Chain A
Amino acid sequence: MNEYSGSEILLKSLLEEGVETIFGYPGGSIMPVYDALYDYQDKFHHVLVRHEQGAVHAAQGFARACGKTGVVIVTSGPGATNAITGIADAMIDSTPIVVITGQVASAALGSDAFQETDLIGITLPITKWSYQIRRAEDVAWAVARAFYIASNGRPGPVVLDFAKNAQVEKTTFNYKKCNFIRSYNPYPNIDNSLISLAVNMINNAKKPLLIFGQGVTLSGAEKELKEFLDKTDIPAAATLMGLSALPSDYKNFKGMLGMHGSIASNIKTNECDLLIAVGLRFSDRITGTVSTYAKQAKIIHIDIDAAEIGKIIPVTLGILGDAKTVLSRLTNGVKEAKHTEWLQTFEEPERVEYEKVISPEIYPTEGPINMGEVVRFVADASQGEAIVVNDVGQNQMLSARYSKFAKPRSLVTSGGLGTMGFGLPAAVGAKIAKPTRQVCLFVGDGGLQMTMQELGTIMQEKIGVKIIVLNNTWLGNVRQWQELFFNERYSQTRLQNPDFQQVAEAYGFGHQRVIERKDLGDAVEKMLADPDQPYLLEVCVVEEGMVMPMIPPGKGITEIMLNEHEWYSKS
Chain B
Amino acid sequence: MDPLFTVTVYSENQVGLLNQISIIFTRRNLNIWSLTVSASAIEGVHKFTITCRTSQKQIEAVVKQIEKKIDVLKAFYYTNDEIIYQEVALYKVQTENLLDSNDFEELVRSSHAHIMEINRTYTVIQKTGHCEEIQDLYEKLIPYGVLQFVRSGRVAITKSTEEKVSRFLAERAEVGRNVN
Residues of A bordering B, CB below 8 Å: 120-121, 124-125, 128-129, 132, 149, 179-185, 305-307, 310-311
Contacts and interface: CB of A to CB of B under 8 A. Distances in A.
18 contacts: A124-B16, A124-B20, A149-B70, A179-B179, A180-B175, A182-B12, A182-B172, A182-B173, A183-B70, A183-B71, A184-B70, A184-B71, A185-B172, A305-B68, A306-B64, A307-B67, A307-B68, A311-B64
A132 B23 CA distance: 18
Nearest to B11: A183
Contacts, number: 50
A310 to B, nearest CB: 7
Contact of B64 (A179, A180, A185, A307): A307
Contacts of B180: 179-180
Contact of B179 (A125, A129, A180, A310): A180
B159 interface: no
A129 B20 CA distance: 10
A124 B172 contact: no
Given A182-B12, A182-B176, A183-B73, A311 B61 contact: yes
Interface in B12-68: 12, 15-16, 19-20, 23, 27, 60-61, 64-65, 67-68
Contacts of B60: 310
Contact of B61 (A129, A132, A305, A307): A307
Given A184-B70, A305-B68, A310-B60, A124 B23 contact: yes
Contacts of B7: none
Nearest first, the 8 closest Cβ-Cβ pairs linking A and B are A307-B64, A183-B73, A129-B70, A180-B179, A307-B68, A184-B70, A182-B172, A180-B176
Nearest to B27: A125
Contacts of B176: 180, 182
B156 interface: no
Interface in B152-169: 169
Given A128-B70, A183-B72, A183-B73, 17 more contacts: A120-B16, A124-B16, A129-B70, A179-B180, A180-B175, A180-B180, A182-B173, A182-B176, A183-B12, A183-B71, A184-B71, A307-B61, A307-B64, A307-B67, A310-B60, A311-B61, A311-B64
A128 B68 CA distance: 9
A280 B98 CA distance: 66
A415 B99 CA distance: 71
A184 B14 CA distance: 14
A375 B68 CA distance: 40
Given A124-B16, A125-B23, A310-B60, A182 B73 contact: yes
Interface string B137-165: 00000000000000000000000000000
Contacts of B19: 121, 124
Nearest to A182: B172
A402 to B, nearest CB: 36
A145 to B, nearest CB: 9
Interface of B: 11-12, 15-16, 19-20, 23, 27, 60-61, 64-65, 67-68, 70-73, 169, 172-173, 175-176, 179-180
Interface centre among B70, B73, B169, B172, by most chain A C-beta atoms within 10 angstroms, is B70
Nearest to B176: A180
Nearest to B73: A183
A557 B173 CA distance: 47
Interface centre among B15, B68, B180, by most chain A C-beta atoms within 10 angstroms, is B68
A352 to B, nearest CB: 37
Contacts of B175: 180, 185
B137 to A, nearest CB: 39
A184 B27 CA distance: 23
A120 B71 CA distance: 15
A155 to B, nearest CB: 13
A184 B69 CA distance: 8
Contacts of B16: 120, 124
Contacts of A181: 70
Nearest to B12: A183
A125 B73 CA distance: 18
Nearest to A312: B61
Contacts of A307: 61, 64-65, 67-68
Contacts of A120: 16
Nearest to B74: A183
Nearest to A179: B179
B68 A306 contact: yes
B70 A306 contact: no
Nearest to A186: B70
Contacts of A129: 70-71
A84 to B, nearest CB: 15
Nearest to B16: A120
Nearest to A181: B70
A557 B12 CA distance: 43
B60 to A, nearest CB: 7
Interface centre among A128, A179, A183, by most chain B C-beta atoms within 10 angstroms, is A183
B180 to A, nearest CB: 7
Contacts of B72: 183
A33 to B, nearest CB: 23
A307 B63 CA distance: 8
B166 to A, nearest CB: 13
Nearest to B23: A125
Contacts of A184: 70-71
A440 to B, nearest CB: 36
Contacts of A183: 11-12, 70-73, 172
A311 B59 CA distance: 11
Nearest to A154: B68
A454 B180 CA distance: 44
Contacts of A311: 61, 64
Contacts of B23: 124-125
A443 B100 CA distance: 83
Contacts of B173: 182
Interface centre among B27, B67, B172, by most chain A C-beta atoms within 10 angstroms, is B172
Contacts of A124: 16, 19-20, 23
A541 B163 CA distance: 65
B48 to A, nearest CB: 14
A310 B61 CA distance: 8
B123 to A, nearest CB: 41
Contacts of A185: 172, 175
